[in-house]
Amino acid sequence: MCKGLAALPATCLRSAKDMKHRLGFLLPKAEILSDHNSAFIKKDKTSHRLRNEEIKKWGESLLQLISHKHGLVAFSEFLQSEYSEENIRFWLACEEYRKCKSPAKLASKAKKIFNEYITVEAPREVNLEPQVREKTRENILEPTSACFDEAQSKIQTLMERDSYPRFLKSKVYLDLLNQTQARS
């Protein structure tokens, strides 16, 4: 993870700049970013022009942020820059899983999510207590749409307490907030 102002590795600086460029579609057409390179960001004609009120709502709760399509993109990019994007991916996988109605599909999807995010040393392992992992493992033996509820809730709480406050203090969020406020 990139920490410390004095000795930021070049990869961290590139990562922050890359994140700003990937999130450029959130800014108004041809608006100048206040980074070291002062790059122009061109907005796709189909993109949604964000309003200051929308971005302010992102600061009200994690659920407000991730229920907005551009808020979700911004938060996902932020988590990616912190090497913790598995949390939002898992949370979204659980949301999608809950919508599944077919018992046959529930079983296969449950195993896939468990193997991808919950089992020890999974490719995108999320940070869960052993008892939550075990309970979830037991739940998927007879899967229901609620078998990931406790694990998802734990990850949501982790994001609310950890990543979300950092996102609200991040340069990307504050720049979006300031630039849309100046435009209003």
CATH number of the domain that residue 57 is part of: 1.10.167.10
CA distance 30 to 42: 5
CB contact burial 42-67 (16+ within 10 A = b; e otherwise): ebeeeeeebebebbeebeeebeebbe
Name residue, tokens 């600086």.
13
Q: Helix, strand, coil shares of the chain as percentages rounded to 5?
A: 65, 0, 35
Instruction: Answer whether residue 16 is part of any domain.
Output: no
CA angle in degrees (0–180, nearest 5) for 1-96-128: 45
Give the number of domains in the chain. 1
Domain that holds residue 175: 52-182
Other C-beta atoms within 10 Å of 21: how many? 14
**Residue 40 resides in a domain:** no
pLDDT tens track, the chain, 184 positions = 343 333 333 344 345 455 555 565 554 433 322 332 222 223 333 245 789 999 999 999 999 999 999 999 999 999 999 999 999 999 999 999 999 989 889 999 999 999 999 999 999 999 999 999 999 999 999 999 999 999 999 999 999 999 999 999 999 899 999 998 888 7
Q: Confirm whether 21 is domain-assigned.
A: no
* pLDDT tens readout for residues 9-51: 334 434 545 555 556 555 443 332 233 222 222 333 324 578 9
Residue 153 lies in a domain: yes
pTM of the model: 0.74
Identify any residues that bridge with 40 across adjacent strands, giving them in sequence order: 32
Q: Output phi, psi for 144, to 5 deg.
A: -130, 175
Tell me whether residue 139 is in a domain.
Answer: yes
Examine residue 46 and state whether it is found in any structural domain, yes or no. Answer: no
Tell me whether residue 160 is in a domain: yes
Whether residue 6 lies inside any domain: the answer is no
